[in-house]
Amino acid sequence: MVKVSRVLTTAILALTVLASCASVLSTDESADEATRSEQMDDREPSYEPESPEDEPPVIGQEESPDAVPPDDGDPVPHDFFEDHVGAAVSVLPPDAFDGIPDDAMELHEPLILESLSFDDERMNGNMRRQRADRLAALRLAEMTLEEQIGQMIMPAYIFDAASRPVRSVTEFMRTEIADVQPGGIILFGQNIGDPQQTRGFVDHLQTLTAVPLFIATDQEGGLVSRLTQSTAMPATRFPSARLIGRTGEVDYAYRVGQAIGSEMRALGINMNLAPVADVQTNPRNTVIGSRAFGADPEIVAEMVVQMVRGLQSEYILSVVKHFPGHGDSDEDSHVERVVLLHDRERLSAVELVPFRHAISAGVDGIMSAHIDLPNIFGSDLPVTLNRTALEGLLRSEMGFEGLVITDSLVMEAVTGRFSGAELAVASVEAGSDILLQPRNAVIARDAIRDAVLSGRLSSRRIQESAHRILAAKYRSGVFEPDRWLPEDQSALGSEQHRLLVEEIRAAAQ
């Protein structure tokens, strides 16, 4: 009876604290590797050899102003939320805690934090980040090791056992997702039909996991445009990055990012594996080609920053790629090993420039490339499996604190040399947070778990990635879909977006 009384008292107190907190905060600033039941392509669909686009010749470009990172407000003390919990509690009657265990107030912290939405105008950027970090820590503490590892896996379900495109949840998917509890799903063009089917598919996927999913796709515009592969989808066919770059106007990159984001949002897709931050310095490069904004590192950097911001303005997480730069290769990592012989001076002066700008602008994620740079990192390991590249260069030297995502783990540049289990473990060892499209999600999960149990990986290493993933979900609103999902799908192929495309084509003449 005493326990029941305490629970009831705690519940009532929590509601009181929430109401009090609102007034206190009102003054603050704002399967075997070769087989599995579901068949999947060994090559990522739709990354096909470059074919010439109908684009105007290159013309002179005016110098664009430097991108300025947003002002997130004053730094927030580490104990910001503790102070507000204490302030909220202080207005309660003196006897409010009678009969409640001393540690019961710990129960109220998540309730108070969750009372502040991710887009609450009373919080500045630092406050939002701290709220997300605290909520992620609370959620992480309740998760098992396997659940934490699950957050790091982002499988694809492209074809079913009969080689038909997957456009609804299959029994195999239901079983595997229930087992692995992945942190996200990547959609390809084969998964996307008409608006109602796509939104229904995404909504159904979101019911299959305890933690809301990243629903990701590659919506770059130009050649790589998942939303426009089906004739039943009225999404806008946005121009390539190359065409946007030729305008010399960074505002177009922002507006296209915003427009792409609004169309993705209408379908319930919350992560874009775009834009491409590669600098296209090799005219023989067919894997990047028109997907890059150009050959000038500074212009590419400005365009990348603005497209990232445009996507984020529509609550879409942006993942720039392919770190540390795939623009000077002759080979295609989808089908073969890629080796670049650059030295560090060249890499810093060219390839890394857009990534530095994107990090400064607060990009959500960075995708690693399956390319070898032996003169820089001292080994023949691809960057995706190279700790010196990811933990050393990207995190320690460049200061990136967001999500590190592998490129697809079914690409020949890595599958030709490593098993699926080894790819999973080595990617985590190197510093990856999310494993994109492992050939078998269960094998990847089990391999990472076994590596922890054997001591090859530490449980702390898993917790670091799981925390980053959960925090990104809280920070971007993935946990609060009702706040960012539109009721209608009028953004898809809207007149405003069509006119934007025409304007860009005219400006590029």
Tell me how crowded residue 338 is: count the other CB atoms within 10 A of its CB.
Answer: 22
Angle subtended at Cα 507 by Cα 504 and Cα 509, rounded to the nearest 5 degrees: 115
Inter-residue contact 486 to 266 (CB < 8 Å) = yes
Tokens of 362: 């607060």
Q: Which residues are catalytic?
A: 334, 407
Euclidean distance between CA atoms 187 and 229, whole angstroms: 12
Judged by DSSP in three states, 216 sits in: strand
Tell me how crowded residue 127 is: count the other CB atoms within 10 A of its CB.
Answer: 22
Q: How far is CA 291 from the centre of its chain?
A: 19
Tell me how crowded residue 347 is: count the other CB atoms within 10 A of its CB.
Answer: 19
Per-residue b/e over 184-223, b at no fewer than 16 CB within 10 Å?
A: bbbbbbbbbbbbebbbbbbeebbebbebbbbbbbbbbbbb
Tell me how crowded residue 111 is: count the other CB atoms within 10 A of its CB.
Answer: 17
Tell me phi and psi for residue 220, to 5 degrees. -85, -30
Secondary structure (DSSP) of 297-360: HHHHHHHHHHHHHHHHTTT-EEEEEEET--TT-SS-TTTS-EE----HHHHHHTTHHHHHHHHH
